Amino acid sequence: SVRLRWRSARLLESTSVSSLVWEEQPVLRHPVLVAAFTGWNDAGDAATDAVELLAMQYDAEQIGYIDPEEHIDFQALRPTVVLIDGVTREIRWPGTRILAARVPDSARDLVLVLGPEPHLKWRDYCDAVLEVVGEFGCELAVTLGSLLADASHHRAVRITGSTTEPALMARLGMTRSRYEGPTGIVGVLHDVLRSSGVPSASL
């Protein structure tokens, strides 16, 4: 689970009630959104560990969150109780954090999205992520995922990428996904991004 800082924060103004809550909104340079979700899309925690590493490497700061009350079944993914200084009990709620990271020696900064695959209201959840993209003018969205497979631990982990953007295919050597079947929040999010004209890729 992740720790959310529950404090007064304004909801994004929109025609409908948004589950996205801002804590601050920094100015970022040509940002790229990078997202990973625990659960079905995250075998061995590889995807979320990668985003956590980016957050740690670049001293990312939490700038908002997606309200878990709208999207998480707390009986399926329960909050946890921790003791502070061995005395005070604190509830930590599972949920999606939005973080900003400034990348030195780069023309681009990062917006990181990290949390559990939602249980409820997937379309509303993806709309909230799309609001993040729009708020900062993210020029590209990248999702990370991982799957279980027979692989030798003596060899480098195989990484594949797919996109529906012809320019990204050519520049990054990616392919168009041929997968058909059940999908997770990553698949739904990419469909929303594509429909909204936001270039995206999945690793």
Q: What are phi and psi of 70, to 5 degrees?
A: -85, -20
Average pLDDT of the residues of the chain: 89
Rounded to 10 deg, the angle between the 185-195 and 122-136 helix axes is 50
Cα–Cα distances (Å) from 93 to 9, 23, 65, 127, in that order, read 17, 17, 11, 21
Q: What is the DSSP letter of 35?
A: E
Residue 111 pLDDT > 60: yes
Show the tokens assigned to 136: 């900062």
Measured in whole angstroms, the distance separating CA 162 from the mean position of its chain's CA atoms is: 17
Token pair listed for 44: 């061995």
Confidence of residue 17 (pLDDT cuts 50, 70, 90): low
Task: Reply yes or no on whether the pLDDT at 3 is more than 50.
Answer: no
What pLDDT sits at residue 159? Answer: 87
What are the pLDDT digits (tens) for 27-50? 999 999 999 999 988 999 999 999
Q: In what order do the strands lie in the sheet with 20-22?
A: 20-22, 61-66, 96-101, 110-116, 32-38, 140-143, 200-202, 162-163
What is residue 174's predicted lDDT score, i.e. its pLDDT? Answer: 86
Give yes or no for residue 13 having a pLDDT over 80.
no
The 10s digit of each residue's pLDDT in 144-159 is 999 888 888 898 888 8
- What is the rounded CA–CA span in Å between residue 54 and residue 56? 5
Model confidence at 2, pLDDT cuts 50, 70, 90, reads: very low
Grade residue 86 by pLDDT with cuts at 50, 70 and 90: confident
